[in-house]
Amino acid sequence: MRIAIVNDTVMIVEMLRRVVTSVPSYDIAWVAYDGKSAIAYCAKDTPDLILMDMIMPEMDGVEVTRIIMQQSPCAILIVTADIKKNSAKVFEAMGHGALDVVSTPIMGISQDEKLNHALLKTIGSIGIIIGRVEPQWPSAKLVSNREKSVLNKLSYPPRHFPPLIVMGASTGGPKALAHILSELPPNFEASIVIIQHVDLQFSSGLAKWLDEQTPLCVMLASEGDRLQGSKVLLAGTNDHLVLRPNLTLTYTKEPQDYPYRPSIDVFCESVAQYWSRKGMAVLLTGMGRDGAMGLKKLRRRGWHTIAQNQQTCVVYGMPKAAIEMGSATEVLSLSEIASTLIKRVTHIP
């Protein structure tokens, strides 16, 4: 896999070069020390992945990401020293197409090897998604038989529960989710669960940011949470969020080597198995195929499933896969999705 580095600090560039080249199958495509150079290099030689700094003089990582994704689109991973401090910019960059965010490794710090491992693990996951790295997991059901056995020992569902809407998103997802949630009324009766591909260290900031965009309450999903009307729960760890037979939420590591974490497919499979009421599922912009199979299972259960159309997607990967698989009941633009949810929620059987 050919990887480019965009960073204005020589020491960090060399550190990233050392981490990347520690994997024999990874090569450095080029290095840019400022945004304008990165745009020019990418136009001439588009790499498989760019490790993008967020804070740079003259042109920051948000603007560089926006221009590259318009002119020479490729996978972009934000590498920043302070994720919490730069969270607003990171959200904006992800809205323009950045896939994920990781912390910059720090030379000489005891956590350096841990940060190196996190960086390489994320690069490997992106490599699988874009087809540059071979997956290492066996072809098996997304939720293992052992995990299902544990889930089945729990209590059975209550009689009354709210309408349920599942939303899945990846590349460009934060901006798309904010657009939809901002148009929902404060008395919206449905419970919403969001599976957005994002790292654990970034999820709390995303929940807070989304909460500021909507009259609804947005929180991270916690162990044992129940689904409530007018409340939005966001998957908040690097494990997969699943619904249990008693309709409470929990997290599972299985499948451990699945590149999409948390996975839309894994959550949808658990919903299809345990949620007896029909609902709505929305698959938004994103690279890869996660969510296509999950939407199909829900559609077979009578759910109304929506895929975002190509014209309004930052990356038309996941919705395209869902449409090609016959998973989507209808294909809508981003501006049409909220109004459709509002109209249909009162008619969910």
pLDDT digits (tens, 9 = 90+) for 151-210: 333 333 334 578 999 999 998 899 999 999 999 999 898 999 999 988 777 788 889 989
CA 95 to chain centre: 11
**Is 164 in contact with 191 (CB distance < 8 Å)?**
yes
Q: How confident is the model at residue 279 (pLDDT cuts 50, 70, 90)?
A: very high
Residue 282, beta-bridge partner list: 167, 306
Q: How confident is the model at residue 346 (pLDDT cuts 50, 70, 90)?
A: confident
Q: What is the pLDDT of residues 36-65, one digit of tens each?
A: 999 999 999 999 999 999 989 889 999 999
3-state secondary structure of 324: helix
Where does 224-291 have alpha helices with state H? 264-274
Q: How far apart are CA 143 and CA 313, in angstroms?
A: 29
**Is 273 in contact with 147 (CB distance < 8 Å)?**
no
Percent of the chain with pLDDT over 70: 88
Angle at 41 between CA 39 and CA 43, to 5 degrees: 70
Q: Check whether 227 has a pLDDT greater than 70.
A: yes
Give the chain's domains with CATH numbers: 2-129 (3.40.50.2300), 145-345 (3.40.50.180)
Q: What pLDDT does 132 receive?
A: 72
Q: How far apart are CA 71 and CA 65, in angstroms?
A: 10
Q: What is the mean pLDDT of residues 288-316?
A: 94
Q: Check whether 114 has a pLDDT greater than 70.
A: no
Q: Check whether 5 has a pLDDT greater than 90.
A: yes
147: Cβ contacts below 8 Å, ≥ 6 apart:
242, 252, 254
Q: How far apart are CA 43 and CA 114, in angstroms?
A: 33
3-state secondary structure of 220: strand
User: What six digits make up the tokens of 159?
Assistant: 């009689």
Q: What is the mean pLDDT of residues 280-306?
A: 95
Q: What is the mean pLDDT of residues 318-345?
A: 95
Q: How confident is the model at residue 82 (pLDDT cuts 50, 70, 90)?
A: confident
Answer with the residue of higher pLDDT: 276 or 153.
276
Percent of the chain with pLDDT over 90: 57
For 301, phi then psi, to 5°, come to: -90, 5
User: What six digits make up the tokens of 340?
Assistant: 């459709």
Q: What pLDDT does 124 receive?
A: 87
Q: What pLDDT does 106 receive?
A: 66
Q: What pLDDT does 297 receive?
A: 95
Q: What pLDDT does 111 receive?
A: 44
Q: What is the mean pLDDT of residues 286-302?
A: 93
Q: Check whether 75 has a pLDDT greater than 70.
A: yes
Q: Is the dihedral of CA 62, 64, 70, 72 positive or negative?
A: negative
Q: How far is CA 216 from CA 192, 198, 209, 210, 310, in A?
A: 10, 21, 12, 9, 28
Catalytic site residues? 170, 197, 290
- How, if at all, do strands 249-252 and 240-243 pair? antiparallel
Nearest CA to 289 out of 249, 324, 335 is that of 324
pTM above 0.75, yes or no: no
CA 153 to chain centre: 30
Residue 308, beta-bridge partner list: 332
DSSP-derived secondary structure letter, 223: T
User: What six digits make up the tokens of 29?
Assistant: 């495509």
Q: What pLDDT does 152 receive?
A: 39
DSSP-derived secondary structure letter, 226: B
